[in-house]
Structure 1
Amino acid sequence: MSDTPSPSVTPPPLTVAASLVALQGLGLVGVAIVQVAELDDDRRALGLSNAGFYGAYGVLLLVAAWGLWRCSGWSRGPALLTQLIWLGLAWTVREHVVAAVALAVLALVVLAGILHPDSIESLNSEDQASP
């Protein structure tokens, strides 16, 4: 009996990371909805382009979260890149301490979950198993 987890079982750290990435995606989709709901006639193009960006990015994160939960190696890239962006955003809003700490902690927890040895093994085993 081996100690290595089966590739079909998502390790707990990766499950936590996938859940938080899904929350980030839902948050961005929520921002897109608010952008559309609060469209200003004078700045309609800007509002729609912002809503489109946040909506598309949110959907990408939701798909990446699903991929992480299924241990698909391709989903690691978008999730890691997003966390680095959120760490930069936390630094940018550092004068708003609560928001900065929340963004940074969220990003660091996701990074820890994705970079955990069990998560790396699970994501890599899926990559090696695919033809």
Structure 2
Amino acid sequence: MSAHARPSGTARNLLLVAAVIVLAEAATCVVLAVLGVVDLEGDSVGSAIGVSLILAVYGGFQAWAAWRVTLGEQWARSPLVVTQIIQLIIAFNLDDVPARITITVGAAAAVTLACLLAPPVTRALSGNPSV
């Protein structure tokens, strides 16, 4: 494992914005997981527990990766980018929800992607000032 330096300046600010958004998404996943377990009903107990477990693990991993990327660990950016692309796909495919939810999910993913892929962040995480 290579040594990494904690990002500073613009890169740090962008990573903090991305991390705050990802932490809100992660908290949402964990809350949905808890609600899924609380609302167990007869035939859907197995499914509810399975989905709740997946949501809890997904949310926990997002939170952990957000924390690690703010510390300058470049590996953590990749899963965050992937999860934000998934969020965009979800936002474009939300049919039976109010438009404000679709817009919120999509905007959060777009802002997070912009922060994670910004040139100052790429330079800070790569450790190569010429990037």
* Superposition TM-score tier, normalisation by shorter sequence: 0.7 to 0.9
Identity %: 25
Could you tell me which of 108, 111, 116 is aligned with 1:109? 111
Say which is worse superposed, 7-16 or 74-83, in terms of deviation.
7-16
Name segments (4+ residues, structure 1) moved above 4 Å.
none
Aligned pairs for 1:44-123 (under 5 A) are: 44-93=45-94, 96-123=98-125
Aligned pairs for 1:21-40 (under 5 A) are: 21-40=22-41
Paired AA for residue 92 in structure 2: W
| Displacement of 1:41 | 2.4
Unaligned runs of 5+ in 2: none
Say which is worse superposed, 86-95 or 50-59, in terms of deviation.
86-95
State TM-score, norm by structure 1. Answer: 0.85
The number of aligned residues is 121
| Whole-angstrom CA distance in 2 between matches of 1:15 and 1:59 | 17
Contact 1:15 1:68 in 2 (8 A): no
Alpha carbon RMSD of aligned pairs, Å? 1.8
Give secondary structure in 1 for the equivalent of 2:127.
helix
State TM-score, norm by structure 2. Answer: 0.85
2:6 maps to 8
| Displacement of 1:94 | 5.4
Contact 2:87 2:105 in 1 (8 A): yes
Paired AA for residue 44 in structure 2: R
Contact 2:7 2:125 in 1 (8 A): no
| Whole-angstrom CA distance in 2 between matches of 1:94 and 1:80 | 24
Unaligned runs of 5+ in 1: 1-6, 127-131
